[in-house]
Structure 1
Amino acid sequence: MLPSQTGPCQTSSRSLVFGLGPSITSEDGIITGAKLPTGRQIIRCMLAKKPGANGALSQFEATKGVLEQVRPFYKKANIAMMSDKRTCHKMVD
């Protein structure tokens, strides 16, 4: 394909994260909405709080922060949750 043609191999200005869509931003660190968060929202939130960058939280601490954001949604829907430790391990897996 010539450079002047547009097609599927043309790169966009936004980088894509495989399976998660557009690149992770700081806005992904907050889970909002009226429904239970999707797995994609939870993963994007965890990646927004990614450990290791400039003294950021450890992976478990970041996951615990995401859990604290998810807990009100489950409480409002009256859905029982597992223990914090088990839930964090499930999110990491």
Structure 2
Amino acid sequence: MLPSQSGPCQTSSHSLVFGLGPSITSEDGIITGAKLPTGRQIIRCMLAKIPGANGALSQFEATKGVLEQVRPFYKKANIAMMSDKRTCHKMVD
């Protein structure tokens, strides 16, 4: 590759999170929309809340916060959910 050509070696202004796209922001900490949240939305929301992102919540507290945001979507769609403990373990896994 010639020095004047731009290629995949250059980085963009956003850092990428493998498999999740652009870097995690504080806006990812809130799940919005009219449909059931996707797995990607749930993971991005959890990563926005765990230590390392803002250092305020433990992993368990982060998953409980995400669960409370997801619960209304499932209730509105009349879909039964597992117990809180099992759901949090599945999110972590």
TM-score where L is the length of structure 2 = 0.93
**Do the aligned residues in 2 keep the contact of 1:52 with 1:58 (CA within 8 Å)?**
no
CA deviation profile, 1:39-74 (whole Å, cap 9, x unmatched): 000000000001256651110011000000000000
User: How far does residue 31 in structure 1 lie from its aligned partner after superposition?
Assistant: 0.1
- 1:44-83 matches, within 5 Å, as 44-51=44-51, 55-83=55-83
Contiguous gaps of at least 5 residues in structure 1:
none
Q: Which runs of 4+ in 1 moved over 3 A?
A: 52-55
8 Å CA contact retained: 2:48, 2:54: no
Q: Structure 2 CA distance, aligned partners of 1:52 and 1:6?
A: 32
Q: Structure 2 vs 1, CA of residues 51 and 43 (structure 1 numbering), >3 Å: closer, same or farther?
A: same
Distance change (3 Å), C-alpha of 1:3 and 1:14: farther
User: What's the TM-score, normalizing by structure 1?
Assistant: 0.93
Structure 1 residues 55 and 47, CA gap change in structure 2 (3 angstroms): closer
Q: 1:55 to 1:39 in 2, by over 3 A?
A: closer
Percent identity for Structure 1 against Structure 2 = 97
Q: Which runs of 5+ in 2 are unaligned?
A: none
What CA deviation, in whole Å up to 9, does each residue of 1:64-87 have, x standing for no partner? 000000000000000000000000
Taking only aligned residues, the RMSD between alpha carbons, in angstroms, comes to 1.4
